[in-house]
Amino acid sequence: MQTTFPRLLLAHAAKRPDAPAMREKEYGIWQTTSWSAMSDLVMHMACGLHQAGLRRGEHLIVVGANRPRLYATMLAAQSLGAIPVPLYQDAVAAECVFPITNAEVRFCVVEDQEQVDKMLEVRETCPALTHIFYDDPRGLRKYDEAGLSALDELLAAGQVFAKLHPDFFTGEVEKGQTDDVAAMFFTSGTTGNPKGVVHSHGSMIDRAQAGAEFDHLTSAEDVLAYLPPAWIGQNIFSYAQWLVCGYVVNCPESAATVTIDLKEIGPTYYFAPPRVFEGMLTSVMIRMEDASAIKRKLFAYFMQLAKKVGPARTDGKSIGLFNGLMYSLGNFMVYGPLRNNLGFSRVRVAYTAGEAIGPDLFTFYRSIGVNLKQLYGSTETAVFVCLQPDNEARADTVGIPCKGVEIKVAENGEILVKSPGLLKAYYKNPEATAEVLTADGWYHTSDAGFLDSHGHLKIIDRVKDVGRIVGGANDGAMFAPKYVENKLKFFPHIKEVVAYGDQREKVCVMINIDFDAVGNWAERRNLPYAGYTDLAQKHEVYKLIQDCVEQVNADLAEDTMLAGSQVNRFLVLHKELDADDGELTRTNKVRRGFIAEKYQPLVDALYGGLTQQFIETTVKFEDGRSGSVSATLKISDSKTFAPVKAAA
């Protein structure tokens, strides 16, 4: 379809002017913006930005949480032929310098005082950044900086301009073409500087339509927009598909109220990374451990039934009369109240992606009637490459190629993709573009995997991360660090894992415990602790984590390809890995190489056979201050198992 995002907006405003487009919770009350009101807001914003000097082809930075006026800013920029560039709102000022410099940005629109302070700091090294507009005026009354003004002022000026030039806005929208650049998203920059991924209106709209058709999405859906707008996944679910389908996007009041807002809205279409689903399940299990004996027994009985027949029922298969009756009773007493408590009472389609999800976690949600599925994609592919059909959702695959997608596997195991949703290029980086896009249109995903006999894609690891064990009993064995890390993260007591082993004779891992889950576990055993660092080094906690490691080793022993990836030694880190400390990307992916350098003494101790090692680490606090955390960490051995030979 030859269209653009602003044209889709105007079409909804013309066909269903009074239908709700967005809701925002403010001071505890949901405020609704209709499609006609959104259209007027975008028109006034576009006229105001034009008057301020924004021109076709220029980039405009947008920084903040999900807010209707920030979404309107993106649409306004696109209406003028400018290119919105959303940045992560929790990024520190230094992380914003490269994108702003690289894209030669003069204009930015931010949410609040925190982001204004960040942009003013950035402006010292990016003098071209001359215009800063803010949405929330709290705390900014006494600011007197050149080029700093409120969005309200911009809108007021735009409203006057629109009255004087009534055809200007629609004329600008009509100039837009499907192949025009719609937005630019910066990658997380795990190695070197981030890359600006350039997407056209056509690539994003095509993928949004493909996903909508696959899951039969309509304008009746309700979506909760709570993930960072700078992540393309949030843009696809709450921006591209919002404009394609015309459903309602709901913006939480704050990050702290997301859980409450989720229950109030009861979305019908929901996305979350595995970490969010893990956190929800952990909180449920913690509450159940504190419940009465009768409630615990009732919960255990019906969850056992759900595990046995729930996934088959969700897949539309027959489970028999007796099981059907008992499941209905369980739905009335346990599953229904549980879905309602989680905010999933109306969910028709739920997706997870980004990392592998544990089979137990996956089964739990599907067994209680939540249609949880996996998808596969990336920033460069506008998300939708593979999706799981409703009746073919499995924990060990990421689905089948969706409409318009071709997949082939290279000789080295790398997955190659051809799709209408591919990036136009990496901005100002033709070398990097040539590395990932072939002349005949195939995109190198850098992921290793294969298509199984059912046509479902299975991901093993990143191609560059798949290594080999060198020396020892497992000499030459394949080592897949991400696979090992994900299997350990499936345990509720483990939050993050970093695995090493390539070109070494054994595998060693560094582990972050889940402070809430392990803290609750310790309290029920009357085990005192004085914070994360103290709890992480308790002998009892090490025994708990060792049991998890050895369970994973037993599972790996049954996989002939990866039996050599069993964990020989491990330690529990004294602090949580943090994006602010450079250890994780802004999308919470482990920066394995950076961590190896930062914690070199720990890596040396793991492989040197030491039983403990002192470490002192610099950390950044939320208020911007720096400090240090130190501890003497224990290092433990774990039991490994002989590979299980396949039956003849």
Contact 601, 573 (CB under 8 A): no
- Of the pLDDT bands very low, low, confident and very high (cuts 50, 70, 90), residue 490 is confident
Question: Quick one: 414 and 486 in the same domain?
Answer: no
* Judgement on whether residues 437 and 497 belong to the same structural domain of the protein: no
pLDDT reading at 411 higher than 90: no
Model pLDDT, residue 311: 85
Please tell me whether residue 333 adopts helix, strand or coil conformation. Answer: helix
Shared domain for 447 and 487, answered yes or no, is: no
Provide Rg for the chain, Cα atoms: 26
Mean pLDDT of 470-494: 87
637 DSSP 8-state letter: E
Q: Which residues of 127-163 are buried (b: 16+ CB within 10 A; e: fewer)?
A: eebbbbbbbbeeebeeeeeebbbebeebbebbeebbe
pLDDT for 113-154, tens place per residue?
999 999 999 998 999 999 999 999 999 999 999 999 999 999
* Residue percentage of the chain with pLDDT more than 70: 99
454 occurs within a structural domain: yes
Q: How confident is the model at residue 412 (pLDDT cuts 50, 70, 90)?
A: confident
- Same domain, residue pair 447 and 555: no
Q: For the residues 71-99, what does the mean pLDDT come to? A: 96
Residues spanned by the domain of 631: 466-637
Whether the per-residue pLDDT at 366 is higher than 60: the answer is yes
Tokens matching residue 373:
């599925």
Q: Are strands 131-134 and 107-110 parallel, antiparallel or unpaired?
A: parallel
Residue-wise pLDDT tens digits, 599-613: 999 999 999 999 999
* Domain closes at, from 132, 165, 200: 200
The one-character DSSP state at 407 is: E
Nearest to 351 by CA among 238, 470, 243: 238
Q: Number of folded domains in the chain?
A: 3
Per-residue pLDDT at 647: 41
SS3 string, 475-486, reads CCCEECHHHHHH
17 occurs within a structural domain: yes
Cβ-based burial of 83 (10 A; exposed 0-12, middle 13-18, buried ≥19): buried
347 domain residue, yes or no: no
For the cut 50, the answer to whether the pLDDT of residue 646 exceeds it is no
What confidence tier does 189 reach under pLDDT thresholds 50, 70, 90? low
Would you say residue 267 lies in a domain?
no
Q: Is residue 323 part of a domain?
A: no
Q: Of 133, 158, 128, which Cα lies nearest the Cα of 145?
A: 133
Taking alpha carbons only, the member of 65, 61, 47, 157 closest to residue 102 is: 61
Measured distance CA(148)–CA(110) in Å, rounded: 11
> Would you say 507 and 566 are in contact if contact means Cβ atoms under 8 Å apart?
yes
In a domain? residue 134: yes
443 and 575 within one domain:
no
CB 450 within 8 A of CB 413: yes
Does residue 648 register a pLDDT over 50? Answer: no
Is residue 431 a part of any domain in this protein? yes
Say whether both 52 and 195 belong to one domain: yes
Q: Which of 594, 580, 490, 582 is nearest to 92 (CA)?
A: 580
Burial code (b: 16+ CB inside 10 Å, e: under 16) for 324-338 equals eebbeebbeebbeeb
* Nearest Cα to Cα of residue 314 among 265, 273, 375, 364: 364
Find all residues with CB under 8 Å of 121, minimum gap 6, and list them.
93
Mark whether 560 and 416 lie in a shared domain. Answer: no
- Looking at residue 268, the DSSP 8-state letter turns out to be S
Domain final position from 465, 499, 529 = 465
CA-to-CA separations, 193 to 98, 186, 424, 517, 520, in angstroms, rounded:
8, 10, 19, 35, 40
Quick one: tokens of 600? Answer: 């070199």
Listed ranges 80-84, 358-362, 551-555; the one with the highest mean pLDDT: 80-84
Does 353 have pLDDT greater than 50? yes
Same-domain pairing of 529 and 400 = no
DSSP letter, residue 437: B
Query: What pLDDT sits at residue 222?
Result: 97
Helix, strand, coil percent content, the chain, rounded in steps of 5? 40, 20, 35
442 contacts: CB under 8 Å, gap ≥ 6: 408, 416, 417, 418
Q: What is the average pLDDT across 439-450?
A: 92
Q: Which of 454-468, 503-517, 544-558 shows the lowest mean pLDDT across its residues? A: 454-468
The residues pairing with 224 across neighbouring beta strands, listed in sequence order, are 250
Per the DSSP assignment, residues forming a β-bridge with 151 are none
Q: Looking at residue 646, what DSSP letter applies?
A: P
Cβ proximity of 100 and 61 under 8 Å = yes
Return d(Cα 207, Cα 382) in angstroms, integer.
Answer: 6
- Asked if residue 395 lies in contact with residue 363, where contact means CB atoms within 8 angstroms, the answer is yes
Single-letter amino acid, residue 213: E
What is the CATH classification number for the domain harbouring 168? Answer: 3.40.50.12780
* Parallel/antiparallel/unpaired status of strands 269-271 and 29-34: unpaired
**Do 505 and 407 share a domain, yes or no?**
no
Per-residue pLDDT of 166-187, as tens digits, reads: 999 999 999 999 999 999 999 8
- Mean pLDDT lowest for which of 82-86, 148-152, 210-214, 629-633? 629-633
Mean per-residue pLDDT, 212-224: 97
pLDDT value at 624 more than 80? no
Quickly count: other Cβ atoms within 10 Å of residue 538's Cβ.
18
Are 69 and 42 part of one and the same domain?
Answer: yes
Are the CB atoms for 296 and 285 separated by under 8 Å?
A: no
- Over residues 190-202, the mean pLDDT reads 87
Q: What is the pLDDT of residues 331-345, one digit of tens each?
A: 999 999 999 999 999
Of 465, 495, 519, the domain-final residue: 465
How many C-beta atoms surround the C-beta of residue 485 within 10 A?
Answer: 23
d(CA 522, CA 88): 35
Q: Strand ranges (DSSP E) for 328-475?
A: 349-352, 372-376, 386-387, 400-401, 406-409, 414-418, 425-426, 443-451, 457-462, 467-468
Residue 8, both tokens: 């889709």
Same domain, 492 and 592: yes
Look at residue 333 and tell me if it is in a domain.
no
Q: Phi then psi for 511, rounded to 5 degrees?
A: -125, 140
Find the CATH number of the domain harbouring 441.
2.30.38.10
Give the CATH number, domain containing residue 516: 3.30.300.30
Same domain, 587 and 461: no
Residue 358 confidence (pLDDT) above 80: no
* pLDDT tier for residue 86 given thresholds of 50, 70 and 90: very high
Closest Cα to residue 286, out of 519, 531, 489, 512?
519
The average confidence (pLDDT) of the chain is 92
